[in-house]
Chain A
Amino acid sequence: MKNILLLSIRTFCFLCMTFPVWAQKSSWTVGMSQCNLGEPWRVQMNADIRKAAASHPEIKVIFKDAQNDNLRQRAHIEEFVSAKVDAILVSPKEAAPLAGPVRDAFKKGIPVIVIDRRVLGDDYTCFIGADNKKIGRAAGRWVKEKLGGKGNVVELKGLMTSTPGQDRHTGFRESLQGMKIEIVFEADMKWLEPNARKEMESALARFEKIDLVYAHNDPGAHGAYLAAKSAGREGNILFVGIDALPHEGQTYVKQGILSASFEYPTGGREAVEAAIEILRGKIVPKEITLPSRVFTKENIDKGGELLAE
């Protein structure tokens, strides 16, 4: 009995002594609400945040997954506020439903960093995102140059009710204006590879001459490649995708499946860095637009090439 008591006292003393160490180790808690983890790109964003946070022992990140549910994500923000976190990272599902909770948190003095998709109004600390229209335009310019200004193109669109899908489409078409490049076939593959393969099979059956496939994401381009390979026509067609995740687009470029993949950066690392700056009392810009890179066979080993506007 005496021993146990002694042991308890010793343990207690030890804990008290080490307290400052582990208290300092994660002196800041940051909440992160991800709108869903069904998309590999968002899984990658969380991985980037985790990786960036690992090199800063002073912050600890709590991850939450809203599973594509506006109200659940709303609850996340409210939970973070009542848990008194030091900063909130949020990658919203939609702009309107989250505006209120984000404003409340911001008004209570908690810094809020919004990633990728926006919230309505400007009651947040910082927005970090990339420009899909710019990426679409860059893809269009690349295609124009590669095809010499003429040819038959298939466009496999992402979900056209989502802004990334719309922007990647309009940006691309803007760059092709006045060219002899004809979009012979376009279909909404809803970001999904099996759909892209189905649609591409229809395009292949219908058109003898297809020079290039522009897909709004890399899995779409990969699905189109598989369809062309199955028809024995992959050698005559170029495939271009967007996102350039390490294990998807960049891999496909390395394997020679895609001719080019345009990066859509996740902003995970930048968000953690911005949070630390803010918590250290520094001021960060209200709006951070992430640079994007293009990966091709020639530059993939050098880590891609930054896009010019």
Chain B
Amino acid sequence: MTSGHWNKVILGRPAVRAGMSLLLVFVVGIVFHADGTFLKWETHRDLLRQISVYGILSCGMTLVIISGGIDLSVGSVMALAAVLFSLFTIHQGWPTGIALIATVLTGALCGMISGGVVSRFKIQPFIATMAMMVFARGVAKLVSGGQKISTAIQQPDGIYQYVEVPRSFDVLNARILGDNLATVTLILAVCVVSCWILLSRTSWGRHLYAIGGNEEAAWYAGIPLTRMKISAYGLSGLFCAVAGICQAAQELQGDPEVGVAYELSAIAMVVIGGTSLRGGTGTIGLTVFGILIIGYLEKILSINAVGEEIRLMLTGLIIVVAALFQMKRM
């Protein structure tokens, strides 16, 4: 047992390397604690709320990336879902259950269309989902009339009528467990666990890794490529819809402009965790590390009131450092 061997066993594990990155970010937080703010529980509780929407998007993104693809449409589909859910519940007064189902199905449908275009027409995922990104944003703007869907409803005569915030919004925007955990964080946890079950406990998951690893081999092995891809992108769309509902509930409105560039954050979270963009490898647990690394980084910069210029530069640097940590040669 040489030390080199142990290096391989311990440091060879992506989870250990992601954990080290997270630890490093933690140390930075403890050093720059901003008058003790970093050491308060509330800071961490709020952080877990902030990252929830991004985290839910990264769950779907993980599935798609493992399949060897990418989903650029997550931010737009999320905005569409936020607008639709607000329209259904605030303006139309639909029952929460029906509004939820309609919104989630729309999200899933958007993803399935992307998946269909990717698998049937063999269009590159980058292009197919970019098309969906633009298209879904257009639909979100169309159905909302370019305005935020809020509790101020404009009547045909131009006068605003004010309605109450739907109860579903209050429930999602609240905290549970003695005010210690945001509801949206719980939803993120449910999404993570669902992904974990799908990826490591079902044949669907094994097929997904197979497709990402070697698509041709997977095809020869009899894995239904089209169906797998449609379901993977469809699930990503479904998670987008969940994220959109959470976003709308936290803003108390459906904003058609929300989620611009969120796809970049979601991709960064997945990749920094250690899931390769080449596909076929990675786990949802790694993505959780990625979500926490980026989330904590932002939070530390925010509580220290670091200026925007420095923030962007530091974020860029730290992403590179975290990616270096993930290299096999370390």
Task: Collect the chain B residues with CB atoms within 8 Å of residue A248's CB.
Answer: 148, 150, 152
**Contact among B147, B151, B258 with A40 in the assembled complex (CB-CB below 8 Å):** B147
Say yes or no: B146 contacts A202, CB within 8 Å: no
Min CB gap A224→B, angstroms: 12
Q: How far is the CA of A22 from the CA of B247 in the complex (A)?
A: 48
Whether A247 contacts B40 by the Cβ 8 Å rule is no
Task: Count how many chain A residues have C-beta atoms less than 8 Å from C-beta atoms of the other chain.
Answer: 30
Binary interface profile of B, 253-282, with partner A (CB < 8 Å = 1, else 0)? 001011000000000000000000000000
Q: Once bound together, how far apart are the Cα atoms of A162 and B250, in whole Å? A: 27
On whether the beta carbons of A187 and B305 are closer than 8 Å, the reply is yes
**Which of B37, B160, B252 meets A202, CB within 8 Å?**
B37
CB-nearest residue of chain B to A246: B160
Q: A40-B148, A197-B250, A247-B154 are in contact. Are A206 and B308 (CB under 8 A)?
A: no
Whether the pair B257, A247 counts as a contact (CB closer than 8 A) is no
Q: Is A160 a contact partner of B37 (Cβ separation < 8 A)?
A: no
User: Contacts A194-B258, A202-B34, A205-B37 given; 7 further ones with Cβ under 8 A?
Assistant: A43-B147, A187-B302, A198-B302, A206-B303, A223-B251, A230-B175, A254-B162
**Interface pair A226/B250, CB less than 8 Å apart:** yes
- Which residue from chain A places its CB closest to the CB of B159 in the assembled complex? A246
Q: How far is the CA of A254 from the CA of B151 in the complex (A)?
A: 12
Asked whether B308 lies within 8 Å of A251 as measured between CB atoms, the reply is no
B303 and A186 contact, CB distance less than 8 A: no
Q: A-side interface residues toward B, CB under 8 Å?
A: 37-40, 43, 160, 185-188, 190, 193-194, 197-199, 201-202, 205-206, 223, 226, 230-231, 246-248, 251, 254-255
The answer to whether A247 touches B302, judged by C-beta atoms less than 8 angstroms apart, is no
Digitize B291-306: 1 where CB-to-A-CB distance is under 8 Å, 0 elsewhere: 0000000110011010
A214 → chain B closest CB, angstroms? 15
CA distance A193 to B253 in the complex (A): 11
**Docked-complex contact B146 and A43, CB < 8 angstroms:** yes
Q: B168 at the A/B interface (Cβ < 8 Å)?
A: no
Q: When the two chains form their complex, are residues B305 and A202 in contact, meaning their CB atoms are under 8 A apart?
A: yes
What's the Cα separation between A198 and B34 when bound, in Å?
16
Tell me which of B37, B150, B247 contacts A206 (CB under 8 A).
B37
Q: Are A205 and B42 in contact (CB under 8 A)?
A: yes
> Are A188 and B307 also in contact (CB < 8 A) when A194-B251, A206-B35, A247-B160 are?
yes
Asked if B119 is an interface residue, CB under 8 A from chain A, the answer is no
Point out the residues of chain B lying under 8 angstroms from A187, CB to CB.
302, 305
Q: Given contacts A37-B146, A202-B37, A202-B305, are A226 and B160 in contact (CB under 8 A)? A: no
| CB within 8 Å for A202 and B258 given contacts A40-B148, A251-B152 | no
- Chain A residues closer than 8 Å to B152, beta-carbon distance: 246-248, 251
Q: Which residues of B contact A43 (CB under 8 A)?
A: 146-147
Inside 8 A of A226's CB, which chain B residues have their CB?
173, 250-252
Compute how far the CA of A199 lies from the CA of B299 in the bound complex, rounded to whole angstroms. 9
Tell me whether A205 and B162 are in contact in the complex, defined as CB-CB below 8 angstroms, given that A37-B146, A226-B252 are known contacts.
no
Contact pattern, B 28-55, Cβ under 8 Å of A = 1, otherwise 0: 0000001101001011001000100000
In angstroms, Cα B160 to Cα A39, docked, is: 20
Give the residues in chain A near B42, CB-CB below 8 Å: 205, 231
* A-B CB contact pairs (8 Å), 26 listed: A37-B141, A37-B146, A38-B257, A40-B146, A40-B147, A43-B147, A187-B302, A187-B305, A188-B307, A188-B308, A194-B247, A197-B251, A201-B46, A202-B34, A202-B37, A202-B43, A206-B34, A206-B37, A226-B173, A247-B148, A247-B152, A247-B154, A251-B150, A251-B151, A251-B152, A254-B162
Q: Which residue of A188, A193, A251 contacts B255 across the interface (Cβ within 8 Å)?
A: A193
Whether the Cβ atoms of A160 and B308 lie closer than 8 Å is yes
Query: B147, A185: Cβ atoms under 8 Å?
Result: no
Residues in B with CB closer than 8 Å to A223 are 251
0/1 interface trace, chain B 232-259, chain A, CB 8 Å (1 if under): 0000000000000001001110010110
Q: How far is the CB of A259 from chain B (nearest CB, A)?
A: 18
